Copies of this chain bind each other. A is one copy, B any other.
Amino acid sequence: MVQQVEASRAALSRDRVLQAAVALADTAGIDSVSMRKLSQELGVVPMALYKHVANKEELLDGMVDVVVGEIDPPRRHADWKSPADWKSAVRQRILAARRTLLRHPWASRVIESRRSPTPVVLEYMDSMIAMFRDGGFSIDLTHHVMHALGSRMLGFTQELFDDSQRLAPNAQAAGLVEMAGRYPHLVELAMAAAHEADSVVGSGCDDQFEFEFALDLQLDGFERLRQQGWSSKAPTPS
């Protein structure tokens, strides 16, 4: 009776649960997404969530679907001027994916952690494959190219590397000389990066530039293979 009117606890649904989970992850970080905290956010008892998702794994799958579903759709093949347009079509889509993933910084980690792809991710991959095929790539080449893209396909790569961002502050005071002794090349590189990045904010690397650099290098490599009518195992044209 009262409940029907009270907006803040409108009836739960799978979608409302997933939306709330994404919102919670966005604002409080992925570590805050526990069944208990999420249920609290929804004004409900923890076990109530299990009427809408089977378990936490499925919740995370659903969150991935929400995020990947936000990525702009690809340019329609019919709008292409030539097969060579594959490159800009793929490039645009991947950068769109990156824009979306950057809005949900937790998402890349969660995507990596899934053990089988969700339907929405499968559809994304399918449309990506379609672009290569429409661009004249053989099935085999498309296959290898998809593997080579890996997670870059969704707009992210694990960095494993945060050079100046972590090194420079870390290395203030006497720590730097010890660092320079132990990792001379790394420090040289970090210093150069920090210097070069004066124009950019905060002395870190320009992540967007690095991403596009790597992406374009790969796409150029793909195009070269396509043009030479890549047939079978001979990945090194040399």
Contacts and interface: CB of A to CB of B under 8 A. Distances in A.
Interface of A: 109, 111-113, 116-117, 119, 121-123, 125-127, 129-130, 133, 139-140, 142-144, 146-148, 150-151, 153-154, 157-163, 166, 182-186, 188-189, 192-193, 196, 205, 209-210, 212-214, 216-218, 220-222, 225, 233, 235-238
Contacts of A161: 117, 125, 146-147, 150
A196 B154 CA distance: 26
A186 B120 CA distance: 13
Given A112-B112, A151-B160, A189-B143, A220 B237 contact: yes
Contacts of A116: 162, 166
Secondary structure of the A contact surface, majority rule: helix
In order of increasing CB-CB distance, the 9 nearest A-B pairs are A148-B214, A129-B185, A147-B210, A126-B183, A217-B221, A126-B186, A150-B157, A139-B192, A213-B235
Contacts of A147: 159, 161, 205, 210, 213-214
Contacts of A146: 161, 189
Contacts of A121: 160
A127 B186 CA distance: 8
A148 B189 contact: no
Contacts of A166: 116-117
B196 A140 contact: yes
Contacts of A127: 185
Nearest to A190: B143
A112 B158 contact: yes
Given A216-B236, A235-B213, A157 B162 contact: no
A213 B236 CA distance: 8
A148 B233 contact: no
Contact of A185 (B109, B119, B130, B221): B130
A121 B161 CA distance: 10
Contacts of A125: 161, 183, 186
A52 B133 CA distance: 55
